[in-house]
Structure 1
């Protein structure tokens, strides 16, 4: 059996096993079988080198050290492993996946559900929990004798969702800022948290419609007719940030609000400017992470063209050790770059169209 056929077999097996599951976990999405053209060899090789770097730099505690390290960074690295198509429970990265999940659960405040030192970390960690929920077997997550006293993935995800909703209720804009108690908001942090909530909802976790509607209303208020998206506060401050425009396009799409004129304007801006453009304060790897998903959700042909350029760009900057340099250091820039490529695999539920 070839490696590609093995991946397809494992995904089909997981899907068939899910049919008989009666628990809430059965509602969580499982990886979809990749369709379309075969995965280019250069993408597979580049991705595997990146995963090798993540394997070699993961600590015994399950996280990745560095200036921006935390449960959000750990969650992004976790998603890189999940997106590879290898069996998350018995494949070659199963140990890395379990250590990452244990690290994230251990970093969560057991009372408030808050993860990390900013809502960025909370949002990305919540997204990672959502992608792992229903895919990673909790029975093998903790060493023998420890599991009974620890939260499951589903419990950690539900607690994280409640934390995000509680934070939003305190926010006058109906969105999120760096601190869970912040009274102002910005579209970058709000995007990270909202995508996490939408992924949790798709996985079967209860997320109130009111919470999604308030967050979408905030993005609508921050989107200009031109398709540009403001950063923080109320309406105003519009300038070109391909990252923010991509974030808004993505949240409109995943929230199933493609009927909004704001979605049409942001998507048009992206497709009219596939090359170049200002990434904004987040850096180019942050832009690529969101732009890959936004184009894939909104205009498949535009994504294919943009993706070909992305592959060439990343090939030229990948380091000999498999990492990617960037604004956030290797420990964060590498997962961001790999996840931009991971849309080619289409195994993560959040990457379903």
Structure 2
């Protein structure tokens, strides 16, 4: 009897390993080796562009906090941490820079910065991913302090309608719009997932704000005050945030996904996306990856070819008005997304 049970167990293990092996084979087939090389070249270019103080910047020296968080996040997707991997030093320097920008009121960044809420939201996302893997006890405690205050600032910066603007509600006369709202929501979800306390009502109000911005066609408009029709970039970002929250099957998510399938998939029309093609696919790639291997395989095959075709000889990408650090960080993240190293992007 014992031998029979052992044989059955062995067969079960063999079947499981065979099944997992088939999954690995399917996943391997979705990944063009050239895509990994393109991402590595992009990351290497980012490393070469990091300033001694640990930051990156956009054109005209703008958006240092946001660019640092996005570039650092791309490096985490490669698999390194602040203490392990070939990118440990640049990641560590980026973390230290962002920690140093943290203000007593919780803002990660500076009030005089243009559109500082973007940097704050992206920094919450990046630093929360670092926090979960941080092995240095002193830095881990500092990260916890910075992220806890950052969450508090985010709640205080929220407008009465539940959104966020380019600056806090107080500084911006309660103006809010969809893209900054999404950035804050994803940052808050990442903090919560990392164990940082986040008031449920702050996220609930934000999700409700996104729902209120939905147009009859299922897309998300610029803001409640200034609708201006549905916008694919903000819609893609909105559904990515709902997926982060575990909302896959509700009616809002279904309408958003249906809109995106009609207005994003199969198009390379940057004008249709208000000049934010890379922003759109930064978020839409997260959506496609969460939808499963079949969806991801088809999507990645198309998007990776488009991205690789635009890469410069030095490894960077230069399209758009924000600057090469921005586009290179986003494209590298998309190409490395299915490595599955970052909890916020995992299925």
- Give the TM-score taking structure 2 as reference length: 0.83
Take 1:63 and 1:174, find their aligned partners in 2: how far apart are those partners?
Answer: 31
The alignment status of 1:152 with 2:142, answered yes or no, reads yes
The CA deviation at 1:233 is: 2.6
- Counterpart CA distance in 1 for 2:83 and 2:251 is 43
Gaps of 5+ in 1: 1-33, 142-146
Give the distance between the partners of 1:235 and 1:220, measured in 2 at CA.
Answer: 15
Matched with 2:295 is: 302
C-alpha separation in 1, matches of 2:138 and 2:34:
34
Deviations 1:196-244 (A, max 9, x none): 00111111111111111100000110112422110013484323x2211
Question: Structure 2 residue aligned with 1:223, among 214, 230, 242?
Answer: 214
Match of 2:73 in 1: 79
Deviations 1:294-329 (A, max 9, x none): 222246533321211111111111111111112210
Question: Cα–Cα, structure 1 residues 176 and 105, in superposed 2: closer, same or farther, change >3 Å?
Answer: same
CA RMSD of aligned residues (A): 2.1
Give matches, 1:107-186, under 5 Å: 107-116=101-110, 117=113, 118-139=116-137, 152-168=142-158, 171-180=159-168, 181=170, 182=172, 183-186=174-177
8 Å CA contact 2:57–2:68 kept in 1: the answer is: no
Between 299-308 and 318-327, the greater mean CA deviation after superposition: 299-308
The aligned residue for residue 97 of structure 1 is: 91
Q: Where in structure 2 are there 5+ consecutive unaligned residues? A: 1-22
211-220 vs 83-92, which deviates more? 83-92
The question of whether the paired residues in 2 share the 8 Å contact of 1:224 and 1:262 is answered with: no
The number of residues matched between the two structures is: 309
CA contact (8 A) 1:187 1:232 kept: yes
2:247 to 238, 257, 260: 257
Distance in 1 between the 2:155 and 2:81 partners?
Answer: 32
What is the Cα deviation at residue 74 of structure 1?
0.4
Aligned with 2:340 (options 335, 346, 353): 346
Structure number, greater radius of gyration:
2
User: What is the aligned partner in structure 1 of residue 237 from structure 2?
Assistant: 247
* Structure 2 CA distance for aligned equivalents of residues 222 and 258 of structure 1: 19
- Preserved CA contact (<8 Å) 1:69 1:331: no
Note the C-alpha offset of 1:85.
1.7
C-alpha distance 78-161 of structure 1, shift in aligned 2 (>3 A): same
Distance 1:267 1:206 in 2: 30
- Cα shift at 1:261: 1.2
Cα deviations by residue, 1:64-114 (Å, 9 ceiling, x for unpaired) = 133333212101111111110235413111111110001111112123434
Distance 1:348 1:84 in 2: 10
Structure with greater proportional helix content: 2
Counterpart residue number, 1:5: none
Match of 1:24 in 2: none
